[in-house]
Amino acid sequence: MKKLMLEFKKLLGDPVFLGYKRGSTIPVFDEIRSISELPLEISDVQKPGKYEIVEGFRFRHSHSSPKWYLLPPEQVILTISPSYDAIDSGVSEGRRAVLFGVKPCDLKAIAVLDKILLDKHPVYTAKRRGIVGVVVEECMEPGGTCFCASVNSGPIVESGFDVAYARLDKETLLLKPGSDIGRQVLKSMGLERASSEYTELYKQMVGRAIDSMKRKLPDLERAQRALRGLASSQEFWEEISKKCIGCGNCNYVCPTCFCTEFIDRVGENHAERVATWIGCLTYTYGLVAGGHFRKQLYMRYRHYTLHKFLYYPLQTGGLLGCVGCGRCITWCPIGLDLIENLSRVLKVKNVEA
């Protein structure tokens, strides 16, 4: 792992490394300064409304994600004087960075955000253009709330990376290149070609991972058809969102949620315009002076669900807004389970397979 990092450093001219970093509590997406900061010796245990770090070697992710870097929670987009002169345009060049040890779901989420924000949102664009390398950790054992295989975003990657690795066990790393840079890196590392014993084991583990997740949501297209048919059913959405309290946690932890609100801060002699994450589950979403377009919580819950499964594909040329990371399930304080709700969709709306 250390070698991998060093080779990237050499080849790409000392970039910054960004990944899940061990801290005093749980790992968050941040700058990695040394290999010891990587969460290599811990596992997460994830259940609806529950997250725990234990000893192990299967860290998937936390509430944090690459979104924290690419589309930060608060972005100053303009500083302005009382006479309307721009003091600071707020946009600076992105740092040259390598994403290190991100998961397949994270990578897919970036692909989704690219379709919405790249070359349109200045902060995202600057940071995104600075990403010069991608190292992915494939997931050999998905977490308790993961379902990436059901939404075609994992547990392994096929494109959009330089190097991907899989941890077959605590010590054994299987690496594959995904680009010329990746091939060069692996070559300079002087690695052996993996024997069939290892590649077979890899295939088996991937197969098991996929099976375990597919069981959770066997037929995505059927669920999408059912959702389409239920869009106008107020009764259904009220029922399914009955326990939701509109706190917005699912929005903030979702690696593809991109909505921001512009806040105006005013100081003694200048004002700042700050783009701040906002959640579509919160009451503000749809509120306008003199009215509200999504006054009831069920309307916002419906938008959240339909956006992920029906509207993102229309906005991105086919990509789902859900990457199956399960964060919305884990970090929901009530423990509401999106997958369970999708199964209920199928029960209510009997659509053919």
Instruction: Looking at residues 263 to 302 of the shown chain, list those that interact with other proteins (rule: CB under 8 A).
Output: 263-269, 271, 273, 275-280, 282-291, 293-300, 302
Nearer to other proteins by Cβ, of 122 and 177: the residue is 122
Burial profile 190-220: b = 16 or more Cβ within 10 angstroms, e = fewer: eeeebeeebeebbeebbeebbeebeebbeeb
Total residues binding other proteins (CB under 8 A): 101
* Per-residue contact flags (x/-) with other proteins for residues 299 to 318, judged by CB under 8 A: xx-xx--xx--xxx-xx---
- Least distance in angstroms from the C-beta of 234 to other proteins: 8
- Least distance in angstroms from the C-beta of 322 to other proteins: 15
Nearer to other proteins by Cβ, of 4 and 280: the residue is 280
- Least distance in angstroms from the C-beta of 166 to other proteins: 27
C-alpha span between 245 and 333 (Å, rounded): 9
Nearer to other proteins by Cβ, of 83 and 159: the residue is 83
- Least distance in angstroms from the C-beta of 127 to other proteins: 10
Helix or strand or coil: residue 5? helix
Report the C-alpha dihedral over residues 254, 265, 92, 317, rounded to 10 degrees: 40
Closest CA to 102 of 185, 23, 38: 38
* 92 is an interface residue for other proteins by CB under 8 A: yes
What residues numbered 60-89 form the site for other proteins, per CB under 8 A?
A: 62-64, 68, 73-74, 77-78, 80, 82-86, 89
CA angle 60, 61, 65 (to 5 degrees): 145
C-alpha span between 69 and 117 (Å, rounded): 14
Following DSSP, what letter does each residue of 248-284 receive, concatenated? -HHHHH-SS---EEEEEEE-SS-EEEEEEE--TTSTT
What residues numbered 93-112 form the site for other proteins, per CB under 8 A?
A: 93
Q: Which of 119, 200, 211, 239 binds other proteins (CB under 8 A)?
A: 119
Instruction: Yes or no: say if 274 and 76 are a contact pair by the CB < 8 Å rule.
Output: yes
- Least distance in angstroms from the C-beta of 30 to other proteins: 9
* 121 is an interface residue for other proteins by CB under 8 A: yes
- Least distance in angstroms from the C-beta of 158 to other proteins: 27
Cβ-proximal residues to 313 (8 Å cutoff; 6+ apart), any chain: 319, 320, 321
